[in-house]
Amino acid sequence: MDVLMVSAEVVPLSKVGGLADVVGALPRALVAEGVRVSVMTPAYGQIDRSKLPEPPVKVFGTKIDLGPGGVHPVTVWRTRLPGADVPVFLVDNPHFFQRDGIYTDPATGEEYVDGAYRFIGFVRTCLEYLDQVKPDVDIIHCHDSHTATLPALLALREADADPLTSRRPGTLLTIHNIAYPGLYPATVLPALGIPERMSVPYSPFEYYGQVNFLKIGIHFADLINTVSVRYAQEIQESSEYGCGLEGVLRQRAADVYGVLNGVDYDEWNPETDSLIPHRFSLDDLAGKRANKQVLLETYGFAAVEPDRPVIGMVGRLVDQKGLDLVMPLLDELAGMGLYLVILGTGLPRYHEQLLDAQRRHPGFLGVRIGFDNRLAHLIEAGSDLFLMPSRFEPCGLNQMYSLRYGTVPIVRATGGLADTVTSFQPDTGRGTGFVFSAYSSQALLEQIDLATYLYPDRRIWTRLMRNGMRQDFSWRRSARRYVELYQKIMARREPRPASISSPAKAPSA
């Protein structure tokens, strides 16, 4: 089986969010399952080519005509994914990708004005690669809105071909976060080779007068998956989670799956973690308490009291992550005899509010604005509890890191959080964390109250920690599930009809 992954990000070459982590780790796990995998990604200016494991070798060059988006020379280079036997093809389009940011202009914080053309050009280059270099790929695995138009281009190209002789690759679209659908004016359609007149109501190429890249991908991909089982259900149930695409997803319900992301335990393992000062294990937890001491000192608390529980929080400081639930509780939490340490960046108003609260409560709250991977590891290793009260969470990774580090998660029952954390029952000793359902500060506070009430009982708390540390969310499990989806696609690889002339009416969108 030969799979080409197409993604806007891949660790360690480029990263904005969890998408990069998935595309960096999943190919290695698939190779271990006997799958031939390669990755195609933009050659961003920030990639240091001198540090690549193999010097890039030119594969081919071409020009991409994007109509109103201009004509641009493109070169495709071949190298290898660092730390893996996985070929990487870098799409080098200097006009679009030699910039300081990946999606947004750092000077403004806004998406680049030619964002649609940047990734249409990328997808069109992928199509050229399939034509000129690799026509025998079995599966094209597309990730998020940036590459969601590729299944449409493949299907439309084959619409008039003889189904008995044509061989189109199967397509899988993975939705990492439906809240970023790729919404643009319909005037970008000609760049895809699709007349703007095709943007008619209820067609795959129309979304309330605009074009929605994810909607296109959902319509044309052979199968669709999200990064947790619960999230796959949620985005079909309501506009709150489906972001206006719930109707289109319900039309494809039989083809929508949930595959939980895995954890790279080569990096996130307290027994081997080189980024923490004291290593520890399920059987020897002494190092965790020592890490807690270092964590409190790192945040500069004047009074370091290791017997007080420490709650950690790492991530984007935005509403999606539940900051609007946390902020009203800070003054009350400050009087509960605990520490709260936060690392992240996000909305300026949250930066200001958190720093102001830190000034009011220096013995309770420690805040670091920005991101520091070493500090993120220390927070996981040294905290007693980890806070993830998300409004929605397609998968989430930190709760799984926390479990392995014996750091008990406090989570809202949504998306991947609901799939990975079970509510602790003190009477039976079962469960791995503290879980609440209602999206409210009061519901969150009740779980923090329960956690701090149980924390002094070392027998109960050690049982809870070890329950989490025994969980296995390795990429091996996830890779096997993806192989099953690839096999489903190959078993029914007959080209999907383009359905342009008389598109089905969607229940919504």
Give this prediction's pTM: 0.89
Position 131 in a domain: yes
Determine if the peptide bond prior to 12 is cis (ω within 30°).
yes
Residues 6 or more apart in contact with residue 160 via CB below 8 angstroms = none
Considering the domain architecture, whether residues 295 and 443 belong to the same structural domain is answered as yes
pLDDT of residue 354: 98
In this prediction, residue 164 carries a pLDDT of 53
Crossing angle of the two packed helices 115-132 and 150-157, in degrees rounded to 10: 50
Residues 340 and 302 in one domain: yes
| 247 burial level (CB within 10 Å; 0-12, 13-18, 19+) | middle
Task: Establish if 25 belongs to a structural domain.
Answer: yes
Q: Identify whether 359 is part of a domain.
A: yes
Which residues contact residue 352 at a Cβ distance below 8 angstroms, ignoring those fewer than 6 apart? none
Same domain, 244 and 333: no
Round to whole Å and give the CA distance between 89 and 92: 9
Tell whether 432 and 487 lie within a shared domain.
Answer: no
Residues, the chain:
509
Query: Are both 320 and 456 inside the same structural domain?
Result: yes
DSSP symbol at 389: -
pLDDT tens-place values along the chain, 509 residues long: 999 999 999 988 998 888 998 999 999 999 999 999 999 999 999 888 888 999 999 999 999 999 989 999 999 999 999 888 999 999 999 999 999 889 988 888 789 999 999 999 999 999 999 988 888 899 999 999 999 999 999 988 876 555 555 678 999 999 999 999 999 999 999 999 888 788 888 899 999 999 999 999 999 999 999 999 999 999 999 999 999 999 999 999 999 999 999 998 988 999 999 999 999 999 999 999 999 999 999 999 988 899 999 999 998 898 999 999 999 999 999 999 999 999 998 888 999 999 999 999 999 999 999 888 899 999 999 999 999 999 999 999 999 999 999 999 999 999 999 999 999 999 999 999 999 999 999 999 999 999 999 999 999 999 999 999 999 999 999 999 999 999 999 998 755 554 444 333 333 43
Tell whether 485 and 465 lie within a shared domain: no
pLDDT of residue 124: 96
First to last CA, the chain: 35
CA distance 259 to 43: 28
Q: Is residue 349 part of a domain?
A: yes
Amino acid (one-letter) located at 345: T
- Tokens matching residue 285: 């937890």
pLDDT value of residue 69? 92
- Give a three-class secondary structure readout of 147-205: HCCHHHHHHHHCCCCCCCCCCCCEEEEEECCCCCCCEEEHHHHHHHCCCHHHCCCCCCC
Is 272 inside a domain boundary? no
Is 275 a member of any domain?
Answer: no
Range(s) of the domain holding residue 23: 2-262+479-491
Does residue 327 share a domain with residue 185? Answer: no
349 and 254 belong to one structural domain: no
Q: What is the 3-state secondary structure (H, E, C) of 478-498?
A: HHHHHHHHHHHHHHCCCCCCC
DSSP labels for 7-35?
A: -S-BTTTB-SSHHHHHHHHHHHHHHHTT-
Q: How many domains are contained in the chain? A: 2
Domain of 207: which CATH number? 3.40.50.2000
On whether residue 273 sits in a domain, the answer given is no
- Residue at 278 is within a domain: no
Say yes or no: 173 and 229 in one domain.
Answer: yes
The type of residue at 482 is Y
**464 with 424: CB under 8 angstroms?**
yes
Nearest residue to 477 via CA among 175, 228, 269: 228
